[in-house]
Structure 1
Amino acid sequence: MAAPDPKPSSSPDPSSSSSSSSSSSRTFLGRLPLPERTYLAEALRTETVGGVLLLIAAVVALIWANTPLSDSYRSVGAFHIGPVELGLHLSVEHWAADGLIAIFFFVAGIELKRELVAGELRDPRRAALPVIAALCGMVTPALVYALVNTIGEGSMDGWAVPTATDIAFALAVLAVIGTSLPSALRAFLLTLAVVDDLFAILIIAVFFTEDIDLAALGGAALALAAFWLLLRMNVHGWYIYVPLALIIWGLMYNSGVHATVAGVAMGLMLRCTRREGETRSPGEYIEHLVRPFSAAIAVPLFALFAAGVPVSGSALVDVFSSPETLGVVLGLVVGKTVGIFGGTWLTARFTRAELNKELAWPDVFAVSALAGIGFTVSLLIGELAFAGNSTLTGEVKASVLLGSLIAAVFSSVLLRLRNRRYRALHDSEGEPAEPPAGRHPAAPPP
């Protein structure tokens, strides 16, 4: 998404500009500037492809783990590689969960930075609605999980599992189903997901960090400071930044803080505004280069080694009988929908923020249900929450897959209904009006 030029452009009449500014300050996701719309279109196309690849990887993992080849699946995932001296002799599954997924969060960090300096989150008044909606969309699933496990006397360790949204899957579903839906709905989901990613990484950093190696953490901080200083000095060259990024990641991993934090931190440091003479900001340029690798390799490989759980009739029944797994399913399907829709409605009802005129509340409800697809990050948090308990980890992974599938099907039905309505309105408005009998349309003035 190309960041808008920070310099003010020529504007229309001041009085109309003031009125427009006042309206846009209260209207969430009004009509976006051309650079914003261009970036949104590009991001949607890329994420859609990424979502398809992610789905393919998940299906391959499920087939691989539930056939006579299942032993080879576990063997490949458990194969260790990497330097022992650096504390990086990890399994292939571990490399995917801690290494490759950091690239996904690096791209998420750039997206967040762009939204903060040039997008919807730049104006605090306009940012209030997506921030509150995303926050409610994470708190409510956690409360649903806690309630189910309090009643069922289950483990509270998995409260964070249903809090995340998988943007690649969600955008892929929206792109396939919602061909006639207003673009503001896609912007709503994209902005919501950026904020969701921020909260998800904060949860991982705060709640899933136990033993801290202060020396490694201090080294990571110094390396990040060097990364920031080189960026401020306009130093160029991938041969400088790539090795430095690997050092930052390795130190962060050995510090005990989840290594994905390093990816977000580096993404937030990139400049995402254009200077005079620039066609793209450094953040845009690097995101353009890295995003295909993230969407086509990093995230699908993570899904390949995270989604391969044994699935059987009894396993699916167990999902609804265990409080931990039932809490995850209900959190994704019910908690996400109620949290995002309720947070959006309450914010619009009791503040000056207004819903975009192009959207109706049924549209928001449908996309709130779509946010219940928590595949990638939910699987990652599930592994962290129940580390050391392989049985429960597998069951929670199955519940994430099932909950995400239910949310995808439910939201697809809602989106298809809304899409059909918008298509009908578009077709009716596109038909030329017939002149009254015996009369002809007036000729255009000379």
Structure 2
Amino acid sequence: MKQEPSTPKSRTVLGRGSYSEALRIGTILRKETVGGMLLVAAAVIAIIWANSPVSESYFALRDFKIGYEPWHLELSLGTWAADGLLAVFFFLVGLELKREFVAGDLRQFSKSIVPVSAAVGGVVIPALIYAVVNLTSPETLRGWAIPTATDIAFAVAVLAIIGSHLPSALRIFLLTLAVVDDLLAISIIAVFYTDEIQLGPLLLALIPLALYTFMAQKYRRFFGSRAWAAWAILLPLGIATWALVHASGIHATVAGVLLGFAIPVIRSQASGGPGTGPGLSEIFEHRFRPISAGVAVPLFAFFSAGVAIGGWDGLVSAVTDPVAIGIVIALVLGKPAGIIGTTWLVNKTTKASLDSSIKWIDLFGVSLLAGIGFTVSLLVAELSFGQGSPHDDHAKIGILAASVLAALLATAVLTSRNRYYKTVQLEESVDSDQDGIPDVYQQDSN
């Protein structure tokens, strides 16, 4: 009797990944939850203050200048928040992205292709939608990159408020998506929002950056276990790199990403440690994430989210501006369309299927969360139109409205799936053989 050929096992995408990766992502998101609460609180305070009878004091504080002018560093507090504090945020973006592709699950092409492609789709489609809405206005078309990024802190704050128990696969997908499109956003800023480059400071920035990279790669050889010595050398070099990049005309947050990329992820034999294991990246991530989530991003939100609406007439003027209209449509509709559409296309072309713990409705809910484009969107709005200009104010109103609307829609979808998520979460906690690794992660790796 002729034996029928066995049917090959269908390849799955957006799986749980490794257990160590799931634990790491869970830790990051718990930290970002606190930061997200502070972010939302800072934005609310700024909006209320900017529209109160004492609004002049808010704008006076935001525009108060401090710094050393000969070094081109006499900046307003609002600019210090955008150029300085956000560099810490993007430093962590650089660390996280490098870690994912060097030692995380995304070093495997089969696991990285879907979230990276989805992030690209979630950037391209919103940008195109905004451009179409503003096609007849060259003045406002400059803001096409505003709806491109996802605010992970705001998104996980929403998850915490609604008590959603997202499965590991969805949590990993959301964080990866946010990190990749943050990187795409900062690349767009570097390329499209740099009006004039001063070559002198830019070339000089290569000197401290090279020294910083060399010392970071070999820090154990030079400093051993004396962490304070490494900080005493690396921190001044990092600040010097940031200052020179700022003076060159390129947005200084780009320096944060470059400095993050320079940090080693895996400890090498040459640096005095074992061939595998955590490197300086893990140490810096542990030290800087509370600063970013608890201080840098909330302060930026406080100085950037404060917009004087101007009563009913001001609100009508804002919501009828193609800038605000384009942002709302792009974030609320464009983000989910880009993410879902690209994921579906990759699945079809690779003949893969979603992991058994994920349904398309779950991916839709997460893609709605990705429409919360707050921190980086506010930054791009200021770069596009200038802080305090009418279009900048209207853009911020659009960003706030879109983020709230996306959060409400995501809440409606994800809370309807909470019972299912609790079932998956229970399944992911079962450890029958008591080896410290839940059974589902061992089954997925077989």
Residue 248 of structure 2 is matched in structure 1 by: 255
CA-CA distance at 1:158 after TM superposition: 0.7
Q: Distance in 2 between matches of 1:23 and 1:256?
A: 53
| Deviation per residue, 1:234-292 (Å, 9 max, x gap) | 24421111111110000000001110010000101111124555763210011100110
- Judged with a 3 Å threshold, the aligned counterparts in structure 2 of structure 1 residues 27 and 117 are, in CA distance, closer, same or farther, namely farther
Q: Distance in 2 between matches of 1:359 and 1:274?
A: 35
Q: Which amino acid aligns with 1:397?
A: K
1:294 maps onto 2:292 in alignment: yes
Residue 192 of structure 1 is matched in structure 2 by: 177
**1:386-401 to 2 correspondences below 5 Å:** 386-387=385-386, 390-401=389-400
| Deviation per residue, 1:155-207 (Å, 9 max, x gap) | 21110001111011112212333533312111110111111111011001000
Q: Distance in 1 between matches of 2:425 and 2:384?
A: 47
**1:161-180 to 2 correspondences below 5 Å:** 161-180=146-165
- Judged with a 3 Å threshold, the aligned counterparts in structure 2 of structure 1 residues 263 and 153 are, in CA distance, closer, same or farther, namely closer
Q: Distance in 1 between matches of 2:382 and 2:23?
A: 37
Q: Which amino acid aligns with 1:293?
A: I
Question: Does structure 2 retain, via aligned residues, the 8 Å contact 1:162–1:331?
Answer: yes
CA-CA distance at 1:136 after TM superposition: 0.5
Q: Distance in 2 between matches of 1:314 and 1:245?
A: 46
Identify which range, 61-70 or 118-127, moves more after superposition: 118-127
User: Is the partner of 2:13 in helix, strand or coil?
Assistant: coil
CA-CA distance at 1:152 after TM superposition: 7.2
The structure 2 residue matched to 1:71, chosen from 47, 52, 56, is 56
1:145 maps onto 2:130 in alignment: yes
| Deviation per residue, 1:14-40 (Å, 9 max, x gap) | xxxxxxxx979x433323223212211
CA-CA distance at 1:154 after TM superposition: 6.5
Question: Does structure 1 retain, via aligned residues, the 8 Å contact 2:167–2:425?
Answer: no
| Deviation per residue, 1:124-164 (Å, 9 max, x gap) | 23211111100010111011111111267872111000111
Q: Distance in 2 between matches of 1:200 and 1:408?
A: 21
Question: Does structure 2 retain, via aligned residues, the 8 Å contact 1:166–1:377?
Answer: yes
Question: Does structure 2 retain, via aligned residues, the 8 Å contact 1:129–1:353?
Answer: no
The structure 1 residue matched to 2:13, chosen from 15, 28, 38, is 28
User: Is the partner of 2:116 in helix, strand or coil?
Assistant: helix
Question: Does structure 2 retain, via aligned residues, the 8 Å contact 1:126–1:353?
Answer: no
Identify which range, 176-185 or 226-235, moves more after superposition: 176-185
Question: Does structure 1 retain, via aligned residues, the 8 Å contact 2:319–2:394?
Answer: no
Q: Distance in 1 between matches of 2:390 and 2:95?
A: 36
Residue 281 of structure 1 is matched in structure 2 by: 279
- Judged with a 3 Å threshold, the aligned counterparts in structure 2 of structure 1 residues 353 and 106 are, in CA distance, closer, same or farther, namely farther
1:271 maps onto 2:264 in alignment: yes
Q: Which amino acid aligns with 1:250?
A: A
Question: Does structure 2 retain, via aligned residues, the 8 Å contact 1:120–1:191?
Answer: no
Q: Distance in 2 between matches of 1:47 and 1:97?
A: 19
The structure 2 residue matched to 1:307, chosen from 285, 305, 309, is 305
Identify which range, 338-347 or 308-317, moves more after superposition: 308-317
Residue 188 of structure 2 is matched in structure 1 by: 203
1:215 maps onto 2:200 in alignment: yes
User: Is the partner of 1:130 in helix, strand or coil?
Assistant: helix
In structure 2, stretches of 5+ residues that fail to align are: 1-7, 224-229, 430-446
1:85 maps onto 2:70 in alignment: yes
CA-CA distance at 1:427 after TM superposition: 9.3
Residue 237 of structure 2 is matched in structure 1 by: 244
TM-score in terms of structure 1 length:
0.87
Q: Distance in 1 between matches of 2:361 and 2:420?
A: 11
| Deviation per residue, 1:14-71 (Å, 9 max, x gap) | xxxxxxxx979x4333232232122111101101111001011001101111111211
Residue 436 of structure 2 is matched in structure 1 by: none
| Deviation per residue, 1:286-309 (Å, 9 max, x gap) | 110011011111001000000001
Residue 143 of structure 2 is matched in structure 1 by: 158
CA-CA distance at 1:351 after TM superposition: 1.4
Tell me the matched-pair count.
408
The structure 2 residue matched to 1:95, chosen from 69, 74, 80, is 80
Identify which range, 170-179 or 68-77, moves more after superposition: 170-179
- The percentage of counterpart residues that share the same residue type is 49
User: Is the partner of 2:386 in helix, strand or coil?
Assistant: coil
User: Is the partner of 1:346 in helix, strand or coil?
Assistant: helix
| Deviation per residue, 1:381-423 (Å, 9 max, x gap) | 0000112771111111111111111111111111111114444
Residue 328 of structure 2 is matched in structure 1 by: 329
Q: Which amino acid aligns with 2:87?
A: A
Residue 380 of structure 2 is matched in structure 1 by: 381
TM-score in terms of structure 2 length:
0.87
Question: Does structure 1 retain, via aligned residues, the 8 Å contact 2:164–2:414?
Answer: no
- Judged with a 3 Å threshold, the aligned counterparts in structure 2 of structure 1 residues 77 and 389 are, in CA distance, closer, same or farther, namely closer
Q: Distance in 1 between matches of 2:239 and 2:9?
A: 46
